[in-house]
Amino acid sequence: MNKNEITQLVKDCALRHIAFIMDGNGRWATSRLMPREMGHAAGAKTFKKVALYCRSIGIEHCTVYAFSTENWNRPKAEVAAIMKLLDQYLDEGEEHENVSYRFIGDKNGLPTEIAERTRALEAKTAGRDFILNIALNYGGRAEIVNAVNSLIAEGKTSVTDADIASRLYTAGCPDPDLVVRTGNELRISNFLMWQSAYSELYFSDKMWPDFGTEDVDAAVVEFSRRKRRFGGLDKK
């Protein structure tokens, strides 16, 4: 399929939000006898390419899992390398026209300067057509716990689905239609636990740095073949 056909397919199958678990950077590097940090650098390039490609085929929201609350347990040098890549990316962020950035996760647990710069980039780019959610210091269960605690703090004694959704980091953003995980691992790893209740899941055995626009196309085609029932029955 060519790009016009994929763009049409995205529209026809109402694929508005795609989320990526960018797994396999480390294995990509070690299999090439390179340090894991080089895998993250290659992964950052793939992230930029894939996010902009999603925008170009008419997807409105893209979410990527860049750093989980558990990733702090990695060796210091690896954490520092990922933070450096983010720092560099924050410099470039503004250059991408029509991209609104949202950093989802606990900003208070980030290095102060990075947290401030994420807030500044969000403010500068608000209201644009394409929403790019970058999950940083993110954990899905913690996100739900925070949401409930903020409702309790307001005096609520019982809550609805809508109440919780309104307090998530992704408030206002449609749930992901499709969650893609690379790296040949078949799990969700605490990513968008609430929001992915009815998402279609797509697993790729490619390591994230090898994931290309043709793989996005394959995921879109697969999504278009799925029958989404949201717990109901097929429409006759």
Site string for ligand FPP, 125-154 (x = CB under 6 A): ---------x--------------------
Q: Which listed range, 20-28, 164-172, 210-218, 226-234, lies at the site for ligand FPP (CB under 6 A)?
A: 20-28
In the sheet where 178-181 sits, what is the strand order? Answer: 99-104, 130-138, 61-68, 17-21, 178-181, 200-203
Question: Please, are residues 204 and 186 in contact by the beta-carbon 8 Å criterion?
Answer: no
Annotation says 23 is catalytic: yes
Q: Which listed range, 1-9, 39-47, 104-112, 164-172, lies at the site for ligand FPP (CB under 6 A)?
A: 39-47
Cα angle 190, 99, 144 (rounded to 5 degrees) comes to 25
Question: Please, are residues 94 and 122 in contact by the beta-carbon 8 Å criterion?
Answer: no
Q: 102 has which bridge partners?
A: 133
Rg, C-alpha atoms of the chain: 18
- Smaller CB separation from ligand FPP, 71 or 224: 71
Q: Pick from 7, 35, 38, 71 the residue near ligand FPP by CB under 6 A.
A: 71
Q: How far is the CB of 218 from ligand FPP (least distance, A)?
A: 20
Q: Which of 4, 23, 163, 175 is catalytic?
A: 23
Residue nearest ligand FPP, CB atom distance: 26
Q: Is 185 helix (H, G, I), strand (E, B) or coil?
A: coil
Residue numbers of the site for ligand FPP (CB under 6 A)?
A: 22-27, 40, 43-44, 47, 66, 71, 82, 85-86, 89, 134, 183
